Chains A and B, each alone.
Chain A
Amino acid sequence: QNTAIINGVVRDEANQPLQGVTVVLSNGANGFNKTTATDAGGNFLITAVPQGTGYSINFSSVGFKPKQLTGYNVAANDRLALTVSLETERAQLSEVVVTALGIKREKRALGYTVAELKGDELTQGKEANVSNALSGKVSGVQVSRAASGAGGSAKVVIRGNNSLIGNSQPLYVVDGVPIDNQNIGAASQTGGTDYGDGIGNINPDDIETMSVLKGPNAAALYGQRGSNGVILITTKSGKAGKINVNYNVDYSVGNALVLPDFQNEYAQGLNGDFTHFRKSDGTIVSMADARANNYQGIPKMSAGRDRTTRASWGARMDGQTYEDQYGHVLQLTPEPDTYGSFFQPEKQLVNNLSVDGGSEKINYRFSYANTNVNGYIPTNDLNRNNFGLRTQAKLWPGVTLDGKVNYIMQKAQNRPTLSDAADNPAYLLISQPRSLGNSIMSNYKWTDEEVAKQLGFSGVYAGLEKTYATNSSTGNPFWTINENHNEDRRDRIIGMLRLTYEVLPWLKLMATGGTDFYTDQRFRYRPINTYQSLNKKGDMREEVIRVRENNFDFLASSSFSLGKDMNLGVNLGGSHQSRYLRLTGNTGSTFIVPNLYVINNTSVNSYLFDLSQSQINSAYMSGQFGFRNYWFIDFSARNDWSSTLSKDNNSFFYPSISSSLILSDLANIKSDALSYIKLRASWAQAGSSGNPYQLTGTYSLNQYTHGGVPMASYTDVIPDPNLKNELTTSIEAGADLRFLKNRLGLSFTYYQASTKNQILDVPIAPSSLYTKNRINAGEISNRGIEFVLTATPVRSASGFEWNTVFNFNRNQNKVESLYPGVETFLLATDRGINVVAEVGKPFGQLIGTQFAWIRDADGNRLIDPATGLPLRTSGRVETELGNAQPDWLGGFGNTWKYRSFSLYALVDIRQGGVIFSQSNREEIIYGVTNKTVPGRDGSYIADGYIATKDGNGAWVSSGQKNNIPVKAQDYWNMVASDKEVMVSEEMINDMSYVAMREISLAYQLPKNWLPTGVIKSAKLGVYGRNLFYFQRKTDGFSPETAAFNVNNSSIGIESTSLPMMRNLGINLSLAF
């Protein structure tokens, strides 16, 4: 036989041999056709190839671009040896994106913007909560974090706030099924704990792609919860071929990025002096007495609850001998690191293992990840295990089954209490007297000797939690972390099963069932002798929360060719969604015997109960029309039936339409300079129906009886049985341009959206007998522009490539209307600051309700000639302090690749918007930061002009710049002397920042370094996250992490937040 043999090896881009590649050798002329597959070494062999010309060889494998080699001529006894390299399909994915209902679409056919991130873009600088990885990477997406330590929540807002109440967060859809993203029991301004959100449970390493559908245009098909945008997550699935085993390990260490700027010169006291004095005979007198009578003895500190006793306005710390409030005789020296030394570096270790493989018929992927975080607050830690199994199988011709199950088991302990609360270490550490060291406070129980010698405390005894303040809501951070305890555990299953049947080449039926259910168990106690507990006898709380969300979807999709130039696709579907939450628990206080933390050991206890359920049924259709592959029209229509509205109003309809035109194809522009022009436009609506149980006014039974007599009271909200759905209408238009053979790209979008008929609980005057009125009212609009500039400035033959992306979003939010006669809507109020929605202004106006400086016409402060201090309004006034929303957001990402090296750097930018800092207020009241130091000796000169009275007795400027020296304490006392006695504007911070969000370097280890046959590839990476700021204007805290929860109402207020972490990490990925 004179036949030929063709053999060869197939490799991927990383030069790794590929197993299971289908190789088809064929020749139309002689009818030869033979199929084989590559072995473990990537080799294939085809024998007995007859002589002939015009052979072609096709290589195909799931996950890779198919390749065809043509025009081979085979002569007798030829030995052809080929080396073939296949490109992974991912390179292609940039043009194909996942859209609503999980349908993969060519990007060119979409009339709206979809941003897509690949899994590896999300995991290069490991964020435990994957939402945080979006920050700076996608235009129009604003990410902020709750300042809550390991396992905390993230807040994602796409294209501005749509809603006056609740939250404006997007819907998360994983593999076509919505998941629950509630933040149950979020912290408030007076404490509470962030137990994390739903999305934070997802293993970032399981994510193949993440698509951001911005606003209802892209999300019309997800119904109501899509009106804030949708984040679609597609998880990885197995690939046909040999078994792939991947393992990666990541370790990172975090430290505080920004700390308060503490002063280390002046001790506890007032007026530059001590307050008390211990005479040699042991009796205590006031310092004034001691000085007047020249007593023998030493100065003595006193505890107290306010500025007059426990603030750091005292003597200069010069090593003098004194007695502290607990009776220790010490030298007065600075304690520079009371704050920082309390905390510890945050350590995070993530191990991730996945195994995948399969054949053309069935594939599978199993993954396991373990995330272990030792928190910044000592004893706070988190351990999360994610198990995932996904399989896709071709059951019969045309019938595919896709199934997935994730099990998440997360345990955390000693999550911090946030904001203005005794158990928040940051809250207490921030105002701790600068002369009081942790060596005193870390011995956190009173001793007999201290009790005997203390001054200013009341009712203390040996063994009690030792505090430095005497107010009712104070604690000792060392007691909090060592004696108090909280723990929580979440067991969560996210499952999905989808059956797809290709009935005919143009008709496909799909049925999907998805479930997400979890049980949270939360337990916390404070032992006997906790200062703040009732009767100092301790307390506990235990609760179980069961949450379930089920979604069932049916979809029929068809596509037709209407002649040569046109094609049409039509989808019809229906869905049923049900949500359920049930909370049961107990709280108890006053333990009977110590160290037994069960509810029957409490002498006073009560129950916790909540139940909530709702359902939505939907019918929808959508269609795509394409003309000559350059003009596309999409349309959709959806009707929802929601259980939360009345029979007459529970059905509502909303449509959408969009179009895209590839101008470069239509006009046949094919130049190297301008390679692609696409125009797009869309219009869409999305309805939404609010929460359950909003229609009727009800009586609530009192939780406790009074001596056995039950009690009830009526709701404080005037209900409206005729509530209707909210409706968001949005339009967007834009263009995508590519130049210089795609080396430069610009994508531009203008959008406008408004949400009308919001279901609001409008605050009404107390004399109405109610506090809120539930109505359909109000309209909020957002309009803005987004652009994304992508470029490849360098791509050299030597293998060096530089890619850069800059994205920008300017969103203008406006409260268009509220309710007839109502111009402002109170979103939140906290210690003298109101956050409001005000008609004609952006959502999130900050209004001070305290005092204001008196200024002249030019805005200069006026100084009282009698005192040298700035003049302050005599009463409380409402002062506009600015708006919490940013002017614009941007991100600047750069990737440099050279051979096996890849370097990525992301700069995250926010400009504009203000925040009120409760920390700053504490710092001023208690004189603990450096800004309160200059002029304590009486040489402080307040900025402003000396005032004089005009003919009408009003203060006006004399034109003379102030030159009257005062004591710094007197000046700062005018600024803030108590929580609700302050000039609010002095605690306003500009939120603008330019942050070095991420730098990561990856190195693909050379193959010859690796043991042959065992490790296919190895990649080593180092990264830094939240590294530093190019620009920051906040005083002593990070602007991004200031919020104490992720609800809308916490915008604009910082409340003794925990510092944001700067993380440095290293990771290693191995493929076997």
Chain B
Amino acid sequence: CTKDFEKINTPPTSVVSVDPGLLFARILRDGTFQESGELPDTKMGSWVQHWAGGPVVPVSRYFEGPEDLIWSQHYTLLRNIIRIKEELTGLENDPAGRSKWAIAELYEVYLYQRLTDLFGDIPFSEVTTSDAVINRTPKFDKQEDIYPLLIQRVDAALAKLTTGDQSYGTADFFYNGNIDKWKKFGNSLKLRLGLRIRYANATLAQQTVQAAMTSSLGLLGSNADNAAVPTYNNAQAENYNPILRQFVTGSADLRYLANTLVDKLKGYNDPRLPLLAQPVTINGNPVYQGIGVALTDNQLSQLIRANYSTASRNTYFSQTFTPIPSYALTYSDICFYKAEAALLGWGANNGDAYNFFLEGVKAAFALAPYNLNTVPNDYVSTVLSFDGLTDAQKMEKIATQKWIHLFGRNMEAFAEWRRTGYPVLTPGPNPGSTNGQIPRRGIYSSDEAQLNNAHYKEAVARMQQGDSFLSKVWWDKKP
């Protein structure tokens, strides 16, 4: 009478094998959304002074705290990517699986880059790649060793991508199964990898950037090539744009914008300001006013929040506004990278930089929620003008426009601010654990520190200031 046992013990609400598309959809959505929303906004987003943060999130006031969630979220996404590869076993060189495998690989590189950019050295080369052998305690690789491997893996994946292969179809939120667009995505990712290490390994950077700039695969060529996940306002909170979700389910004290962003847009008379920020009424007049970041207890206790701008209640914080896609990589990003590469003469001429830059700003203006099809002439002639500027000053303009464009993509904004040093930010007044300096990295997960302790300690020992906010990642070397 034990013959029914196997049937009885068959899991009733789950399955042992699935179409990889089901996994890929989840990975793309979660992976994209995780860069945005309340927590990253008030951590990295307040370090780069887009969002004001607040006392609820001590790291926004420079008090060190481990990034358990961000860390585990990334490895969870990586687990599901490994499962896609397991499900495709045997089809790696078959049209039925080849391009699916390569697309998963490209997104894996995307995630690893984001993770190492935030933390520095991370477990990478020894991380489990199949069910057969699960490595419970992989070593931490140096970031300088990870970057060359990421670039190689992009190249290998690009070589596999074949137009006409089976793809993920509608499960592919970015490109709806269009393999050619994934080629552009992969090549654009390569461009980004190359420029990120510009100050740390100029040789590899230049070689990578030049290859990407001149590749026949092309780069993202218009906003139609943007890698983005659509969102929905009439469904579960998990289907909202993460910024809308922050408004609906998050803390009322964490909806405010930082004064740096608001003042910068005000100073530029930037037409995006009213579409990004909510005006407040002071002495009967509507004004835009951001709160300072990393305020002291006394400053916080005397704040009158009603006098400060949140994100706009007509766009980001609106359930009736057309749902805003959540972006992972945009044409604007690529234009700004191209402008930078041109300034360096890597794959383009210095003189091309301005056009790339202008194209990037135009594309940024055209994007939801701004949907501005033109950039005002006086904006072009003043704010965007390269006239008489040094390369460094031009770079500052490029990086500042990118900083505005990356609103809501906190990890990327934080990485680019650290890499380029622009815009120049003044830290908030609260000393926190950094003696009043803006953090340069995230603190490792406490679970990882505890459960992979020996390797964690090895990695910490390699850092100048240990596992602190002030240690710099390898590529963070701008003179």
A interface residues (Cβ-Cβ under 8 A, vs B): 270-271, 275-276, 284-288, 302, 304-309, 455-459, 470-472, 534-535, 576, 603-604, 606, 609-615, 617, 641-644, 647, 650-651, 692-693, 695-702, 704, 706-707, 709-716, 718, 763-771, 773, 821-822, 824, 849, 874-876, 973, 977-978, 980-981
In the complex, chain A residues whose CB is within 8 Å of the CB of B285: none
Question: In the complex, are the beta carbons of B25 and A287 less than 8 A apart?
Answer: no
Closest to B19 in A: A712
A583 to chain B, nearest CB (A): 10
**Could you tell me the distance between the alpha carbons of A713 and B170 in the complex, rounded to whole angstroms?**
17
Question: In the complex, are the beta carbons of B123 and A767 less than 8 A apart?
Answer: yes
Question: In the complex, are the beta carbons of B452 and A767 less than 8 A apart?
Answer: yes
In the complex, chain A residues whose CB is within 8 Å of the CB of B237: 534
Question: In the complex, are the beta carbons of A286 and B302 less than 8 A apart?
Answer: yes
Among A271, A609, A876, the one with the most B-chain Cβ atoms within 10 Å of its Cβ is A876
**Could you tell me the distance between the alpha carbons of A271 and B29 in the complex, rounded to whole angstroms?**
46
**Could you tell me the distance between the alpha carbons of A641 and B232 in the complex, rounded to whole angstroms?**
50
A284 to chain B, nearest CB (A): 6
Question: In the complex, are the beta carbons of B238 and A704 less than 8 A apart?
Answer: yes
**Could you tell me the distance between the alpha carbons of A525 and B16 in the complex, rounded to whole angstroms?**
36
Question: In the complex, are the beta carbons of A611 and B13 less than 8 A apart?
Answer: yes
- In the assembled complex, 15 residue pairs joining A and B whose CB atoms fall closer than 8 Å, in A order, are A286-B304, A309-B301, A470-B251, A697-B16, A700-B14, A704-B238, A711-B25, A765-B451, A766-B75, A766-B445, A767-B127, A771-B72, A822-B451, A824-B450, A875-B468
A584 to chain B, nearest CB (A): 12
5 residue pairs, one from A and one from B, having the closest CB atoms: A286-B302, A698-B14, A767-B123, A765-B452, A711-B26
In the complex, chain B residues whose CB is within 8 Å of the CB of A615: 4-5, 8
**Could you tell me the distance between the alpha carbons of A978 and B448 in the complex, rounded to whole angstroms?**
24
A458 and B171 in contact (CB under 8 A), knowing A698-B16, A707-B239, A765-B447?
no
Question: In the complex, are the beta carbons of A305 and B9 less than 8 A apart?
Answer: no
A692 and B83 in contact (CB under 8 A), knowing A713-B23, A769-B134?
no
In the complex, chain A residues whose CB is within 8 Å of the CB of B29: 706, 711
* Choice from B2, B58, B82, B433 contacting A769 with Cβ under 8 Å: B82
> Is the CB of B249 closer than 8 A to any CB of chain A?
yes
A604 and B55 in contact (CB under 8 A), knowing A692-B8, A768-B136, A769-B78?
no
Question: In the complex, are the beta carbons of A707 and B232 less than 8 A apart?
Answer: yes
> Is the CB of B164 closer than 8 A to any CB of chain A?
no
**Could you tell me the distance between the alpha carbons of A889 and B446 in the complex, rounded to whole angstroms?**
36
In the complex, chain A residues whose CB is within 8 Å of the CB of B14: 698-701, 715
B411 to chain A, nearest CB (A): 17
* Choice from B26, B79, B249, B448 contacting A770 with Cβ under 8 Å: B79
* Choice from A610, A699, A768, A769 contacting B18 with Cβ under 8 Å: A699
Complex interface bits, B284-312 against A, C-beta within 8 A gives 1, otherwise 0: 00000000000001101111111000100
* Choice from A455, A459, A706, A714 contacting B80 with Cβ under 8 Å: A714
* Choice from A271, A285, A700, A767 contacting B448 with Cβ under 8 Å: A767
B interface residues (Cβ-Cβ under 8 A, vs A): 1-2, 4-6, 8-18, 22-23, 25-26, 29, 54-56, 58, 63-66, 71-72, 75-76, 78-80, 82-83, 122-123, 127-128, 131, 134-138, 170-171, 173, 229-230, 232, 234-239, 248-253, 255, 297-298, 300-306, 310, 319, 433, 445-448, 450-452, 468
Closest to A580 in B: B8
**Could you tell me the distance between the alpha carbons of A647 and B6 in the complex, rounded to whole angstroms?**
8
In the complex, chain A residues whose CB is within 8 Å of the CB of B56: 305-306, 471, 978
Closest to A878 in B: B450
**Could you tell me the distance between the alpha carbons of A874 and B237 in the complex, rounded to whole angstroms?**
38
Closest to A773 in B: B136
Question: In the complex, are the beta carbons of B15 and A698 less than 8 A apart?
Answer: yes
B464 to chain A, nearest CB (A): 16
Question: In the complex, are the beta carbons of A270 and B446 less than 8 A apart?
Answer: no
Question: In the complex, are the beta carbons of A696 and B230 less than 8 A apart?
Answer: no
In the complex, chain A residues whose CB is within 8 Å of the CB of B236: 604, 606, 704
Among B10, B252, B447, the one with the most A-chain Cβ atoms within 10 Å of its Cβ is B252
Question: In the complex, are the beta carbons of A709 and B171 less than 8 A apart?
Answer: yes
**Could you tell me the distance between the alpha carbons of A763 and B447 in the complex, rounded to whole angstroms?**
9
Question: In the complex, are the beta carbons of A768 and B249 less than 8 A apart?
Answer: no
In the complex, chain A residues whose CB is within 8 Å of the CB of B8: 613-615, 643, 692
**Could you tell me the distance between the alpha carbons of A613 and B253 in the complex, rounded to whole angstroms?**
46
Given contacts A305-B55, A709-B173, 12 further A-B contacts (CB under 8 A): A285-B304, A305-B251, A604-B236, A614-B8, A615-B5, A699-B14, A699-B17, A699-B83, A706-B232, A771-B72, A824-B450, A875-B468
In the complex, chain A residues whose CB is within 8 Å of the CB of B297: 270, 307-308, 973, 977
* Choice from B22, B76, B136 contacting A699 with Cβ under 8 Å: B22
Closest to B172 in A: A709
A413 to chain B, nearest CB (A): 27
In the complex, chain B residues whose CB is within 8 Å of the CB of A457: 252
**Could you tell me the distance between the alpha carbons of A307 and B310 in the complex, rounded to whole angstroms?**
22
Closest to B66 in A: A876
**Could you tell me the distance between the alpha carbons of A821 and B319 in the complex, rounded to whole angstroms?**
51
**Could you tell me the distance between the alpha carbons of A275 and B447 in the complex, rounded to whole angstroms?**
39
Question: In the complex, are the beta carbons of A472 and B63 less than 8 A apart?
Answer: no
**Could you tell me the distance between the alpha carbons of A699 and B249 in the complex, rounded to whole angstroms?**
28
In the complex, chain A residues whose CB is within 8 Å of the CB of B445: 766
**Could you tell me the distance between the alpha carbons of A611 and B14 in the complex, rounded to whole angstroms?**
11
In the complex, chain A residues whose CB is within 8 Å of the CB of B63: 981
**Could you tell me the distance between the alpha carbons of A456 and B304 in the complex, rounded to whole angstroms?**
7
Question: In the complex, are the beta carbons of B78 and A709 less than 8 A apart?
Answer: no
Question: In the complex, are the beta carbons of A534 and B248 less than 8 A apart?
Answer: yes
**Could you tell me the distance between the alpha carbons of A898 and B2 in the complex, rounded to whole angstroms?**
60
A507 to chain B, nearest CB (A): 26
* Choice from A641, A700, A770, A978 contacting B13 with Cβ under 8 Å: A700
Question: In the complex, are the beta carbons of B239 and A706 less than 8 A apart?
Answer: yes
Question: In the complex, are the beta carbons of A704 and B2 less than 8 A apart?
Answer: no
**Could you tell me the distance between the alpha carbons of A612 and B14 in the complex, rounded to whole angstroms?**
12
A459 and B300 in contact (CB under 8 A), knowing A767-B127, A981-B58?
no
In the complex, chain B residues whose CB is within 8 Å of the CB of A849: 446
B20 to chain A, nearest CB (A): 9
Question: In the complex, are the beta carbons of A768 and B128 less than 8 A apart?
Answer: yes
**Could you tell me the distance between the alpha carbons of A436 and B446 in the complex, rounded to whole angstroms?**
39
Question: In the complex, are the beta carbons of B25 and A710 less than 8 A apart?
Answer: yes
In the complex, chain A residues whose CB is within 8 Å of the CB of B137: 765, 767-768, 821
Question: In the complex, are the beta carbons of A576 and B1 less than 8 A apart?
Answer: yes
In the complex, chain B residues whose CB is within 8 Å of the CB of A700: 13-14
Closest to A615 in B: B8
**Could you tell me the distance between the alpha carbons of A256 and B310 in the complex, rounded to whole angstroms?**
44
* Choice from B230, B232, B304 contacting A455 with Cβ under 8 Å: B304
In the complex, chain B residues whose CB is within 8 Å of the CB of A978: 55-56, 58
A470 and B252 in contact (CB under 8 A), knowing A604-B236, A766-B445?
yes
**Could you tell me the distance between the alpha carbons of A288 and B298 in the complex, rounded to whole angstroms?**
10
A266 to chain B, nearest CB (A): 15
Closest to A277 in B: B302
**Could you tell me the distance between the alpha carbons of A978 and B248 in the complex, rounded to whole angstroms?**
24
**Could you tell me the distance between the alpha carbons of A692 and B253 in the complex, rounded to whole angstroms?**
44
Question: In the complex, are the beta carbons of A714 and B79 less than 8 A apart?
Answer: yes
In the complex, chain B residues whose CB is within 8 Å of the CB of A980: 58, 65
A924 to chain B, nearest CB (A): 15
Closest to A715 in B: B14
Question: In the complex, are the beta carbons of A692 and B9 less than 8 A apart?
Answer: yes
**Could you tell me the distance between the alpha carbons of A697 and B25 in the complex, rounded to whole angstroms?**
20
In the complex, chain A residues whose CB is within 8 Å of the CB of B26: 702, 711-713
A970 to chain B, nearest CB (A): 10
Question: In the complex, are the beta carbons of A769 and B75 less than 8 A apart?
Answer: yes
**Could you tell me the distance between the alpha carbons of A457 and B305 in the complex, rounded to whole angstroms?**
8
**Could you tell me the distance between the alpha carbons of A365 and B135 in the complex, rounded to whole angstroms?**
63
Question: In the complex, are the beta carbons of A617 and B452 less than 8 A apart?
Answer: no
A472 and B448 in contact (CB under 8 A), knowing A534-B237, A698-B14, A709-B170?
no
**Could you tell me the distance between the alpha carbons of A710 and B136 in the complex, rounded to whole angstroms?**
30
Question: In the complex, are the beta carbons of A713 and B80 less than 8 A apart?
Answer: yes
B324 to chain A, nearest CB (A): 14
A876 and B25 in contact (CB under 8 A), knowing A276-B304, A302-B304, A470-B253?
no
Question: In the complex, are the beta carbons of A706 and B173 less than 8 A apart?
Answer: yes
